[in-house]
A = this chain, B = another copy of it.
Amino acid sequence: MRFFSDNAARACPEALAAISDANRLDTAYDGDAWSQRLDGALSALFETEVAALWVSTGTAANGLALAALCPPHGAVLCHRDAHIQVDECGAPEFYTHGAKLLLGDGAGAKLAPATVAALAATIRDDVHQMQPAALSITNATEYGLVYTPEETAALGELCRARGLGFHLDGARFANAVARLGCAPADLTWRAGVDALSFGFTKNGGLSAECLVFFRPELAAATRYRRKRAGHLLSKGRYLAAQILAMLEGDVWLRNARAANQAATRLAEAAGGDRLIHAVEANEIFVRVTVEEAAALRARGFDFYDWGLGEARFVTSWDSAGADVDALAAAIRAL
């Protein structure tokens, strides 16, 4: 019973069907009918004109987004535990040609405006230091918390005031939207976000992510960078088709709700004292002893140790009800 990550979950039926459906001869790269519909579909979803580019990983989406917002000699402000800092082997540095990440702290991997302002204030305004050029946050965060529209807008306001680009790593954007019940626009451009890495893979895709620019002019150079990085797949229609299929009928939201609900059930089972972070999306972090962790594993539950005495369980769109029940019972019984 696997709870170690949603990034290994199965593809949902709609995504698989889209693959089959797209298995027709069409134009290569992103000239095909599916890819050509992407801008429109995302613009509709976000209620504004956007430029949307498919890529096959969130790491690529993040790297391309940051390269669009930060020059090689600039700095990106982000949380110390941000995926771009700790889990992408330097993709931001690779794509930006050597920008620096400046790291801030905050509970649950969330950044507060005051923290960002203080972080930016550590940089002298002279040529000896890399000047802050962008802010990057993750919603839902690496610890399963969400930024509300208001919290996001406060950061967006700060970015506007200081001339910072604003990137949102949305590997679990669907989970955040599902949790908050708000419009996707409220968590993005209405709150000042310039670029979103909109994740579909963790949420039931095979390997589809969508880089969405709310300032469409940023896409022009990015199209060259995508090609140059080897991310312009020749049969891109298979990516576009997945995304379109998951947008249609709000499959993406339905999947995210299912994952969130499974996590909520686990959180209720764990109870307050056990929980290290509030459970607002599809991840729960539980205090466990080494013996307890071993006992859970012995019963067939697969999960990550997250530092000493912490276990991370991640639910996904297809977390089987029985597995969740079993894990909930096991956690309750600890």
Q: Chain A residues in contact with chain B, CB under 8 A?
A: 2, 4-5, 7-11, 16, 19-20, 23-29, 32, 55-63, 71-73, 86-91, 93-101, 127-131, 201-202, 206-207, 221, 223-235, 238-239, 318
Contact A228 to B73, CB < 8 A, known contacts A7-B234, A100-B90, A223-B127: yes
| Contact residue among B91, B202, B233 (Cβ-Cβ distance under 8 Å from A228) | B91
Q: Are A8 and B234 in contact (CB under 8 A)?
A: yes
Tell me the smallest distance from the CB of A262 to a CB of chain B, in Å.
14
Q: Is the CB of B230 within 8 A of A55?
A: yes
- Bound CA span A90–B99, Å: 7
Closest Cβ of chain B to A308, distance in Å, is: 12
Say whether chain A's binding surface is mostly helix, strand, loop, or mixed.
Answer: loop
24 A-B interface contacts by CB (under 8 A):
A2-B25, A4-B28, A8-B25, A8-B32, A10-B25, A11-B23, A56-B233, A57-B232, A72-B90, A73-B221, A73-B228, A88-B128, A88-B230, A89-B227, A90-B100, A91-B228, A93-B228, A98-B98, A127-B226, A130-B224, A202-B234, A207-B234, A207-B238, A229-B229
Q: A227: which B residues are within 8 A, CB to CB?
A: 59, 88-89, 91, 127-128
**A27 contact set on B, CB distance < 8 A:** 8
Instruction: Report the separation of the CA atoms of residues A223 and B10 in the bound assembly, to the nearest whole angstrom.
Output: 24
- Chain B nearest CB, measured from A259 CB (Å): 14
A226 CA to B230 CA, complexed, in Å: 11
With A221-B71, A229-B229 in contact, is A87–B129 under 8 Å at CB?
yes
Given A128-B88, A221-B71, A230-B57, residue A8 in contact with residue B23 (CB < 8 A): no
Pairwise interchain contact A224-B10, C-beta atoms closer than 8 A = no
Q: Judging by beta carbons under 8 Å apart, are B230 and A60 in contact?
A: yes
| Residues of chain B within 8 A of A207, CB atoms compared | 56, 233-235, 238-239
Partner of A57, one of B73, B131, B234, B318: B234
A206→B235 contact, CB < 8 A: yes
Given contacts A91-B228, A127-B223, 14 further A-B contacts (CB under 8 A): A7-B234, A8-B25, A59-B232, A87-B128, A87-B129, A88-B128, A89-B228, A93-B93, A93-B100, A94-B98, A97-B98, A201-B233, A230-B231, A231-B231
CB-defined contacts of A201 to chain B, threshold 8 Å: 233-235
Residues of chain B contacted by A226 (CB below 8 angstroms): 127
A127 to chain B, nearest CB (A): 4
With A59-B227, A90-B99, A94-B98: A16-B7 Cβ-Cβ less than 8 Å: no
CB-CB under 8 A from A62, the residues of chain B are 230
